[in-house]
Chain A
């Protein structure tokens, strides 16, 4: 940091020694100018922040800001949070739900298999999923939030780039087409949980990958990481009419999400962890969907994985999904 010669030394002005001296040569005019500029600046900042007045009450709460990560919550704290979430739902959506925090069962590892020979592309699963999981169903674009995307593919190829998700024929299946529903594959080597910078998403012991909606910061890195396009982001606050709300909710699955967080298919853990089937399976008219416990040697899912021609989507990416496709004939 040497001074260069061609830097003209400034005239040896008297340098102030004290704060008073420093302030002294500042003429009244400069001082007033500075004050006026600062005041004007502050006013500008306040004016710019004006939209914040429209922030909904209860959107930002001290409790919310201080809430700890799911794994660090005591049972009592969890209880309090669940009750306050119920209150909030009642207040904002007019329905008093029952929000539980159901833990995974011992000795259970879930897996899902979908029979591509049977699926007819009716998309009943996608719609049942949205109803079960309390998603907005008001505008036409809300279907984008469904955890299940059904691809219509040309027979003779399995090229996704030529697939179509917005098919609207009078009748399915269309001639020359076949259908492939895609939802979260609950990967054993999940790129999404690895990507999350704050551990807001993780795999539970039964194989289900969950999101703590109260911990997610909304960076959407998990969405970029997912090879199956299985994650959805709440760009808006969900809008659900009172009568459409499913009151049987779980903290980690279908409770109504706040805006600004990521969500995904949880194999309907609020149902499946209590011995029921996922909503998408129950509604399927062709019986194309098979769900069960991989750790139970006598389960149907085990039979299929051992005896059918099984196809794993994007096996090359190395995600080792718990979701399989298979063919009958």
Chain B
């Protein structure tokens, strides 16, 4: 057993360094960006968060914005799991593992974005009982720590177990993974709901204290996540011998379309409530969409996002996106649009104006941006590496000796 596993690890290790020139170029490219990010973070670690653009008024910035967006992308793996395991769609069975692996990579990115946002990362262990104290169940952040790490563990277990049994040529024992898959479905919804409650629970910030935030989070997540998966599937199909047909891609297209319609509808509900009654609470939205007293850093951003959202939705809803190239364009538009509106577009107006009415604008510094790029590159590196290992296992070229090809 242990010998088998060691052999497996050794082979995985070796395989990581075997690849085409393209593979090497891609991995080195990502690694170099990771290093640039690491360097920027080291600077921040020594100097303090004064290397960022955050202030006492806008005390969260692009780190938490990326974190929020990515939690959604991680949750969206469930949109492969549900068709595969509940509706028993065979074509989804073949790709569901790639969604789960993506969830792992993205959750790790989320945890990194939280880590780099901490003023005292050296005290991270204060959250971990028994040495630390987790303020559970009062603090929603403590819930988030639990659900995010739980989701990571669930997916690590599911992927690790399924891939390893596949490598061994054994049929996976249902008891060891099916229950976890069903727990992970509910858990995926929970990570994004809890992350929304992080903001919704703050009564002193009317822009966030709004019940529509959680449903909108989910709707936009189930657009952005599948968008990324659609692109990933095509990369796999083009660059490896693992064939992914069009069915999973078009199932995801349908999911994306429905989610995006709901997302845009909920956005409309929000805008109506804010602007029609025009109470004093509209001021944060006014800042976001139109600017306040000449402060309008976010205005071009949010209108870009809205334009991308609507063009993306238009492409998805029309037969145009039955063509894979148009579909890809729609995916890119929706992904970027949601990244803006759910990242900076959600976080920053929560702080502008401040609870005492101050308008202080926020822009990330270069150092802060480099840290973000580093984490994105690290996520991509991690996911590429996992795919590099998982695909040969899935197509049977990486397996224990002495087993037949077809199982």
Contacts and interface: CB of A to CB of B under 8 A. Distances in A.
Interface of A: 1-4, 6-10, 12-19, 22-23, 26, 30, 33-34, 37, 41, 44-45, 47-52, 54-55, 60, 64-65, 68-69, 144-145, 149, 151, 159-163, 165, 182, 191, 194-200, 215-221, 223-229, 231-237, 258-262, 314, 317-319
Contact of A318 (B117, B121, B203): B203
B241 interface: yes
A314 B202 CA distance: 13
Contacts of A314: 204, 355
Interface stretch (B136-144, B256-264, B315-323): B136-144
Contacts of B118: 217-219, 260
A149 B203 CA distance: 21
Contacts of A224: 59-60, 199, 202, 205, 350-351
A217 B203 CA distance: 23
B179 interface: no
B50 A34 contact: no
Contacts of B132: 69, 198
Give the 6 A-B residue pairs with the shortest CB-CB distance, closest first: A218-B119, A227-B204, A260-B119, A160-B357, A15-B401, A10-B397
30 contacts: A1-B97, A1-B394, A3-B396, A4-B243, A6-B245, A7-B394, A7-B396, A9-B395, A14-B401, A15-B400, A17-B401, A22-B11, A23-B14, A30-B17, A37-B17, A41-B31, A48-B42, A65-B122, A160-B355, A163-B356, A197-B141, A199-B133, A217-B127, A218-B49, A218-B119, A223-B59, A233-B49, A235-B54, A259-B119, A260-B120
B185 interface: no
Nearest to A55: B46
Determine the interface band of chain B, counting residues with CB < 8 A from chain A. Answer: 35 or more
Contact of B204 (A144, A145, A317): A317
Q: Is the interface of A mostly helix, strand, loop or mixed?
A: loop
A51 B39 contact: yes
A219 B203 CA distance: 19
Contact of B56 (A49, A54, A228, A233): A233
B269 interface: no
B353 A161 contact: yes
Contacts of A17: 7, 401-402
Nearest to B94: A4
B336 interface: no
A235 to B, nearest CB: 4
A318 B201 CA distance: 13
A108 B350 CA distance: 36
Contact of A19 (B10, B43, B145, B172): B10
Contacts of B140: 195
B126 A215 contact: yes
B142 A197 contact: yes
A298 to B, nearest CB: 34
Nearest to B96: A1
A42 B399 CA distance: 30
Contacts of A64: 122
A301 to B, nearest CB: 24
B120 A198 contact: no
B120 A216 contact: yes
Given A163-B356, A198-B126, A227-B203, A9 B17 contact: no
Given A12-B405, A50-B39, A191-B202, A229 B48 contact: no
B149 interface: no
Nearest to A52: B42
Contacts of A229: 56-57, 354-356, 358
**Residue of A4, A182, A197, A318 most packed against chain B (CB within 10 A):** A197
B303 interface: no
Most buried by B among A3, A149, A163, A217: A217
Contacts of B353: 160-161
Contacts of B57: 229
A318 to B, nearest CB: 7
Contacts of A2: 90, 93-94
B142 to A, nearest CB: 5
